[in-house]
Amino acid sequence: MKVICNRGALFEALNVIGNVVNPRSPKEVLKCVKLSAMDDRLVLSATDLEVAIRYSDSQVQIETPGETLLPADKFRDIVRESIDDTISIEVISEQAHLRGNDSHFKIYTQPASEFPPMPEFGGEADFQVTGGQLKQLIGQTLFAAAKESTRYAFNGVLLVVKNKVLHLIATDGRRLALAKGDPIGVKKNEKELSQPIIPAKALNLLEKLLSDPEETVGVQLTENQIMFSTPNATLTSNLVEGQFPPYDDVLPKESDKKMTASTADFLSAIKRASLLTTEESKGVRMAFNKKGLVLSSRSPESGEATVNFACKFEGADIEIGFNPAFLVDALRVVDADEISLELTAANRPGLMKGGNNFSYVIMPVNLQ
């Protein structure tokens, strides 16, 4: 195998797929990137047996087709530190020779035949979505998934296609984020589509693949895997096992109190009111009345903070406490200039809405 690569394009590809590689894997082949030179492109593949990525680099010159496995960490280091516009990769026997204008690196390879088989995106997609919309939906939900929960379903994001609308939902048990978008060309009957729970790692990787907001992303579902296909890459992931909570039941159906405010201004007020909170006293008290909102926090170690915030409020006066970090997380991903916060009682969850396609349920905290 011998190829000449554009160094910048190669490094971009390695940055994307390198996040799949597990450098601590006991299997040497899983520490490697597979290179397949064919036709007019170089396909780079990586997997940890849970998630797999195939990335196609067309900014190459194929002199001799072939396949090889290179250790991902050393390969990426060499490409990153190179000062050349192009890098030549030539495999002779069990060694890969990487050459620049003034450099030559010799790396020992692994047999390409020992690399796990990579899934293929075959046939029509079950549905499609634009890259920009999918990236937005991921950004508006992934933050709310649990980092490590014994309830495995909380460690991923639920995907549902219902009434020709694509829903992504995530929860950690204390909050729930729901974002909606419009899929393109749903090929299957919606009742035939499964409702997969996608691991957070896979969605983090998918976000990095979605560089062009106009590109079309195809989605295929099987019993235990989901596949995403872009013009340059295919990502396959195993699904999270477990039962996702009935999210429709979590969304408050009725409220008699409602605040409406500027998204940016509310975010600023929350940040300022939380400046003196600590891990032990991390709640912010929110006192709503017809004049607006007073945010306050108190910490024996730090002191007290009070922020008066002008907003529109409808309903009876109420005082309620929220974790400010949870509010900030949601306000940062809202793509609407104005948000609403619907409340019922001090011990009941609040419902934040940003536009027609983003809803966020947040549980209150007890304030002493």
Give the residue range(s) of CATH 3.10.150.10 domains in the chain. Answer: 2-114, 127-248, 252-362
CB atoms within 10 A of CB 364: 19
Would you state the structure tokens that stand for residue 326, as one six-digit string?
């949870």
- The CATH class that applies to domain 2-114 reads alpha beta
Q: What is the CATH number of domain 127-248?
A: 3.10.150.10
Can you tell me the distance from the alpha carbon of 364 to that of 147, in angstroms, rounded to the nearest whole number? 20
Can you tell me the distance from the alpha carbon of 16 to that of 76, in angstroms, rounded to the nearest whole number? 11
Can you tell me the distance from the alpha carbon of 277 to that of 289, in angstroms, rounded to the nearest whole number? 23
In the 8-state DSSP scheme, what is residue 337? S
- State the residue for tokens 């406490």: 321
Q: What is the CATH number of domain 252-362?
A: 3.10.150.10
User: pLDDT in tens for each of the 368 residues of the chain?
Assistant: 999 999 999 999 999 899 999 889 999 999 999 999 998 899 999 999 999 999 999 999 999 999 999 999 999 999 999 999 999 999 999 999 999 999 999 999 999 999 999 888 888 899 999 999 999 999 999 999 998 767 788 999 999 998 889 999 999 999 999 999 999 878 776 767 889 999 999 999 999 899 899 999 999 998 899 999 999 999 999 999 888 989 999 999 889 999 999 999 999 999 999 998 877 777 999 999 999 999 999 888 889 999 999 999 999 999 999 999 999 999 999 999 999 999 999 999 999 999 999 999 999 998 76
pTM equals 0.92
